[in-house]
Structure 1
């Protein structure tokens, strides 16, 4: 029998005091909040608006020097209602904190871009509702792929940089009538030879049959024929066994296309992460070429040599937004890499 039970008040600390929803969207509060924001805070708000949800680990590896420094600032931004947070339930262990954009943050973004809050198509209940979405793990996994690329871009010894990162929502806005990729990325390598590589990402958790994954290639072929731009498709799968099955389905789908060269495809799996320190740019990608199969894995920028028919990305025609002919309203996609240390002014 427990003779000294824990008092109820000790089971959970007090929630931090936060402004009400009505206060968080007033012009006076947003103007006061703007004086406290650093460039990195504004960058985080835009990234959360674009990509919906990020974990503590992803935010730290993209923009903060340590977990402690990030948690201190994230707590302050949470109290100001720039961001909101939740912690999903997991069967084993403890899930990291997940962050989404809150009302004050959305209001700040809208006013900075000369828009009304309703122009952002933002609702707080929908933003925090991602906590109950059946696609939460998929969204977090896709964002984790690109947060690793951002972390690689920030390393002092790297010669490459992630310059563009589009969310699934933005991709659907431009190409949704033809194909719906999980994300779009553009990587620039500066040495030894300046090169650029763009791709659509299909992040596969093994929830779809391999033949359904293969059927997506027909949409990418149609997109390439419509825009006149051939964009490679990178497919990430959880295991090497799953990758082998998916590659068989992809090979069959490519064989059914009138022009398979319109859809360059490469695959990789999480089994190749441990040896490369979670670096998506490392030699872990295997192009799909039935005629000349490669036995070794290629680096991200080496994939351009696997498809010599791809034109170099040195003109405005390589911009998928311009090629789609779609001019969208709302904020432009933020820079994937946060502002440098010189742009981070301490605020109280």
Structure 2
């Protein structure tokens, strides 16, 4: 008797490691990561990372795409879930099993998404925090929520991401606004009204982090913030920085501070839950 469709997926299970499962969950939550990003988060040797990604692609758990680079050559591989990866994640989270056509459409739409660069830049922020924590035992990225999850949990807030960053016993929550220069800064500042509404509803008073593409754009944003009420804490830094380091400039200060030093009011005790499904990310 030929193996059933379900049996085909079960046959892959002996080849899936704990690290593979974490990668599948990351891609399920955050859609796409480059080879370099996966390497910095989950592997020590780049070559080992490349070999393992190829093996996972051969199993149908991952898929990949890349584009031509201006001036010649190719951009890095962009990795996402393959059909078996979508099936595995659907089974893990009690979702309907996708068809081959649906899985292919998901990859095609992602690769053609005009906001792909913005998504990768947002993911890069959290990748850098994760990589920093690997080299600093006291630090830990306790939560990494995507835009979709953040919007679902906080309703009116449409941040690009939300996280909890801990160093020792100190845990700071934050909302991330990734700026790639695609919209006027006045519109960017207007987003703070939604965060003010969240605070008035009794939600957390987390700092809103504006991660900007250049120093001139950062300076322009601070000019726009002058005179604005301090109901929502705001801090800025540029894409060239390590977000865990002393690079954050609060809108009402002159000295830059570390992420863990920013004011953060959780509104309630933060649960130290090791379950990734509840939003906690542990490598």
Pair in the same fold by TM > 0.5: yes
**Aligned counterpart, 2:31:** 52
Shift of 1:103: 1.3
How many residues end up aligned between the 2 structures? 275
**Aligned counterpart, 1:43:** 22
Q: Distance in 1 between matches of 2:158 and 2:190?
A: 12
Asked if structure 2 preserves the Cα contact closer than 8 Å seen for 1:88 and 1:131, the reply is: no
Shift of 1:61: 0.1
Q: Distance in 1 between matches of 2:67 and 2:199?
A: 39
* 1:195-252, Cα deviation, whole Å (9 max, x unpaired): 1101000000111111101100001101111233212100000111000111222335
Is 1:137 the equivalent of 2:100?
A: no
Q: Per the alignment, in what secondary structure is the counterpart of residue 29 of structure 1?
A: helix
Q: Which has the larger radius of gyration?
A: 1
Higher RCO structure (Cα 8 Å, ≥6 apart): 1
* 1:252-306, Cα deviation, whole Å (9 max, x unpaired): 5x34xxxx32x100001135x2xxxxx21111000011xxxx22210111113xx
**Structure 1 unaligned residues grouped into runs of 5+:** 1-22, 274-278, 305-309, 320-330, 339-348
Q: 1:195 to 1:245 in 2, by over 3 A?
A: same
Q: Following superposition of structure 1 onto structure 2, how do residues 84-99 of structure 1 map, counting pairs within 5 Å?
A: 84-92=63-71, 93-99=73-79
Q: Distance in 2 between matches of 1:112 and 1:312?
A: 30
Q: Following superposition of structure 1 onto structure 2, how do residues 1-348 of structure 1 map, counting pairs within 5 Å?
A: 26-92=5-71, 93-117=73-97, 123-155=103-135, 157-176=136-155, 178-190=156-168, 194-251=169-226, 254-255=228-229, 260-261=230-231, 263-271=232-240, 273=241, 279-289=242-252, 294-304=253-263, 310-311=264-265, 315-316=269-270, 332=277, 335-338=280-283
Asked if structure 2 preserves the Cα contact closer than 8 Å seen for 1:166 and 1:333, the reply is: no
Q: Per the alignment, in what secondary structure is the counterpart of residue 332 of structure 1?
A: helix
Q: Distance in 2 between matches of 1:69 and 1:84?
A: 18
TM-score normalised according to structure 1 size: 0.73
Q: CA RMSD in A?
A: 2.3
Q: Distance in 2 between matches of 1:37 and 1:73?
A: 11
